[in-house]
Structure 1
Amino acid sequence: MNITFRWYGQGNDTVTLDHVKQIPGVKGIVWALHHKQPGEVWGEEEIKAEVEYIQSHGFHAEVVESVNVHEAIKLGNEERGQYIENYQQTIRNLSEFGVKVICYNFMPIFDWTRTDMFRPLEDGSTALFFEKAKVESLEPQELIRMVAEASDMTLPGWEPEKMIRIQELFEACKTVDEEQLWANLTFFLEEILPVAEAHGIQMAIHPDDPPWSIFGLPRIMTGAKSYEKLRAISDSPANCITMCTGSMGANPANDMAEIAKHYAGIAPFAHIRNVKIYDNGDFVETSHLTKDGSINIQGVVEELHNQGYKGYVRPDHGRHIWGEQCRPGYGMYDRALGIMYLNGLWDAYASLVKKEAEV
């Protein structure tokens, strides 16, 4: 298990790499060039500068999250060819500086959805919250306004440049159902996987967040059947998944320990976090501790340990605790606690296996 920490870059994050160095067990930084717009080529000099800065603090920079996919590719329109060529070149450029995994998603318009960025919890902390009835009653523009007012920091997937085109994008999406979105993903993968494989990079698709349709938009990465369909497109070693317990696990039908058991082998990257799911379909993010949420985090880590998992793992969204002022979901304190919990589980399973071997 290769523990990593997501970081948004100098001047774009309340957490510094000097702070991250003080969290035991962190080996790498999950990064991106967050100023780049979807569809732009990531230049070699920009990549070099970011990687060298990360490495200067003693971390590897082998995982990028995310190289965002341009909407033209998801929509499958006539502009996609140039954006796919740009994506291929970005893959080549990243490979020159040791990147081994690229996390991406294929959700039209919204990369993730929450209705409250700072929902108060019983312990006095706050966390990201999804209220199903509110999403079903809101217009997309209202949700965009709520998200924009929640933080003055950039929120991936909610870039202002994209949000001002919201009506245009929704109109374009009327022609794209789940079947067509799968076809567009297939076309994209057929174009990029040979490049990724040739350059030693694994493309790890992230599940939809939440894993069901919102505002009538198609969602296709929603459960185990999605992974089967993904691998049916190509069995290339570059065609992989990001196993996110919190995103896919927001649907209680998805047993994340079982999914880890069957699909960890094609998951070079894992996001491990917990959510508490309510009977009405709402969910709130909690501490990583198994008992605090609805997801069997303990079982997920056990499955990874049983398989000798050597992939990259990061704690995912954390609560906002101890008065920390930070990007929604991405403070340091609760994610650091999450790392210690994951490492504790891993060490406990290792100790148990050792004792059993000695008997």
Structure 2
Amino acid sequence: MKETWRWFGPLDALGLDEVAQTGAAGIVNALHEVPYGEVWQSADIAARRHLIESAGFDWDVVESLPIHEAIKRGDAPLEPLFANYRQSMANLAENGIRTICYNFMPLLDWTRTDLASPLPRGGTCLRFSAPKMAAFELYMVGRRGAEADYSDAVLAAARAWFAQASSDDQAELLKSIMSGLPGAYDRYSLETLRRALDAYQGLSRDDLRANYKRFLQEIIPTAQELGLSFCVHPDDPPRDILGLPRIVSSADDIGWVLDAVDAPENGLTFCTGSLGANPLNDLPEMVQKFGARIHFAHLRNVVKDPDGSFEEGTHLGGDSDMVAILRALLAAESARGISLPFRPDHGHDLLDDSGRKTHPGYPLIGRLRGLAELRGVIAALA
């Protein structure tokens, strides 16, 4: 397996000289400064690739080539957006970038309610609190029908939290929920979020699936022509958020995605944290089932609570059996004769990480610890 590191380019507080000291050989990067729906110009891709390669790395994976919200909603006309997307793909292929990670989560990317939840022995981690999310939906956004998505116990805890929450607490919650959007992409205020949710009004799970299938039918043939591998990132968390359906959360969902356009180029980013947050998912079994279509792996771990809350664990110490997962991934890549790129994901903020102002979930020391642990397991299994 090939060690890679997510780097946010000029937007990143970490320099490539620091990343080099982690031992990772490859970089995962994107042109986050380009607005969604616009073409990634070949010259800009070439300049970023030169920057990465000059520091001694390969640019192994694009994460992400984002999908415009109009495509997810199924608005018309979409042909210009699909044309721009295909042109970006062609420009990436022209510059030797062959693996594209993306997601089909409506409106929000990964979602957390706490960016610095304290850990027992020091440091902090990302956390998703079901009561805080319920409070956000019910009392801050004011989403009708949100009560139906939560248990009575979670609703009671949400009321209690909101009753004592200050305006600063509420502002921090909004900031945390918005922080999953990558790079320099604009965050939502409560008012702009309400308007964005209105645009999705009435969109069902079947509607979103139909729009996703159209995207695959428009894009995967071009990927085949260009020699590109696409790999969808699972939903994070693997549950509906803000009343928006999420459709890449389980083994059945992934099976549907891969069958929608049954081609090797239509593949999966195997994120052990996203899939591990769903208690029904058996991750080693999923690797065995979908291993031929896994093009990229995010390796992290979560610790789940009975109410649907969870937080980032250590890479080897959460609820998922990382050793069994890595054993299955090594078997899958061996069967295919490839070196599968992976990266340590969402580390704890440890020691002086808190002063570096890195992107939430992407500290230096916390991810370095995770990479070292994963490297050790892989070496032992190999």
Instruction: Calculate the TM-score normalised by the size of structure 2.
Output: 0.86
Residues 1:153 and 1:16: Cα distance change in structure 2 (over 3 Å):
farther
RMSD: 2.1
Matches of 1:98 and 1:279, distance apart in 2: 45
1:330 CA displacement: 0.4
Match for residue 127 of structure 1 among 125, 128, 141: 125
Q: Which has more helix, going by share of residues? A: 2
Residues 1:151 and 1:320: Cα distance change in structure 2 (over 3 Å):
farther
Paired residues of 2:111 and 2:128 also in contact (CA < 8 A): yes
Whether 2:340 is the aligned partner of 1:311: answer: yes
Percentage of matched positions with identical amino acids = 38
Residues 1:141 and 1:279: Cα distance change in structure 2 (over 3 Å):
closer
Match for residue 235 of structure 1 among 236, 254, 262: 262
1:165 CA displacement: 3.7
Paired residues of 2:109 and 2:181 also in contact (CA < 8 A): no
1:138 CA displacement: 1.4
> Once structures 1 and 2 are overlaid, which stretch shifts more, 47-56 or 307-316?
307-316
Residues 1:154 and 1:135: Cα distance change in structure 2 (over 3 Å):
closer
- One-letter code of the match for 2:351? W
1:162 CA displacement: 5.7
Matches of 2:192 and 2:265, distance apart in 1: 32
Whether 2:188 is the aligned partner of 1:189: answer: no
Match for residue 228 of structure 2 among 176, 194, 201: 201
1:139 aligned counterpart, secondary structure: helix
Question: What residue in structure 1 maps to residue 361 of structure 2?
Answer: 329
Matches of 2:37 and 2:351, distance apart in 1: 38
Matches of 2:352 and 2:119, distance apart in 1: 13
Matches of 2:302 and 2:28, distance apart in 1: 22
1:152 CA displacement: 11
Paired residues of 1:3 and 1:313 also in contact (CA < 8 A): yes
Match for residue 99 of structure 2 among 65, 84, 101: 101
Instruction: Calculate the TM-score normalised by the size of structure 1.
Output: 0.91
Question: What residue in structure 2 maps to residue 354 of structure 1?
Answer: none
Matches of 1:105 and 1:140, distance apart in 2: 26
Whether 2:314 is the aligned partner of 1:287: answer: yes
- One-letter code of the match for 1:346? I
Deviations 1:210-247 (A, max 9, x none): 01112111110011101111122111221011100001
Matches of 1:75 and 1:124, distance apart in 2: 43
Matches of 2:64 and 2:298, distance apart in 1: 13
Q: Output aligned runs, 1:271-286, within 5 Å.
A: 271-286=298-313
Where does structure 2 lack aligned partners over 5 or more consecutive residues? 142-169
Match for residue 285 of structure 2 among 258, 261, 276: 258
Residues 1:65 and 1:142: Cα distance change in structure 2 (over 3 Å):
farther
1:268 aligned counterpart, secondary structure: strand
Matches of 2:100 and 2:178, distance apart in 1: 27
